[in-house]
Amino acid sequence: MRYLPCLVLLFAMPLMAANVWKWRDANGVVNFSDRPSPGAEQVNISSPSTYGPPVLSEHNSASASSKSSLSVTYANVEIWKPSGEMTISNTAGHVEVAVRVEPALSSEHHLALYMDGRLVSGFPARGMNYELTGVERGAHTFTLAVVDAEGQQLKLSNPVQFYVQQPSILRRP
């Protein structure tokens, strides 16, 4: 029953098509109205404006297929190394990162790795393995993002927290 008013309006629209009047005011501005004004002339509108989609040629269909690959939905974007809550010891600041993306990364997309909320420079845009150097001791968090050509994040991994433990002469075992 709630759709009944919409249906009535839809079918009544052609019946409600009114006359359109056009006139110029004292400043020379053209005005349109559904009510006549002094000096207005009636405008005949014979048919409504319509739009038809363009016909795809081979060139257009190739670009359409590349655009359709932009709409890839990634089921899985994850950092699997280091694993969550992992403690990495005695690596002199080297941390190996391994990631997974399913389905495979589209050619129009790239990866961005964030450590502690900051973009990791040097991370390969299409790489699945990487070794970071100079990672200081303490707790850190990685997040991986799939990014499109415009820089929009399409999918974000769950954050992975890990710990780097470096030996120190100040802290004896």
Contact criterion met (CB below 8 Å) for 100 and 158? no
pLDDT score at 68: 42
> What is 76-165's CATH number, 1.25.40.10, 3.40.50.150, 3.20.20.370, 2.60.40.10?
2.60.40.10
Burial of 48 (0-12, 13-18, 19+ CB in 10 A): exposed
Closest CA to 166 of 96, 87, 89: 89
Phi, psi dihedrals of residue 118, rounded to the nearest 5°: -110, 140
Residue with tokens 């990487």: 130
Token couple for 19? 């006359």
In this structure, of 47-61, 67-81, 98-112, 147-161, the range with the lowest mean pLDDT score is 47-61
Give residue limits of the domains in the chain.
1-44, 76-165
pLDDT for 90 beyond 90: no
Once rounded to an integer, what is the mean pLDDT over residues 68-93? 80
Contact criterion met (CB below 8 Å) for 146 and 153? yes
Q: Which residue has the higher pLDDT, 110 or 54?
A: 110
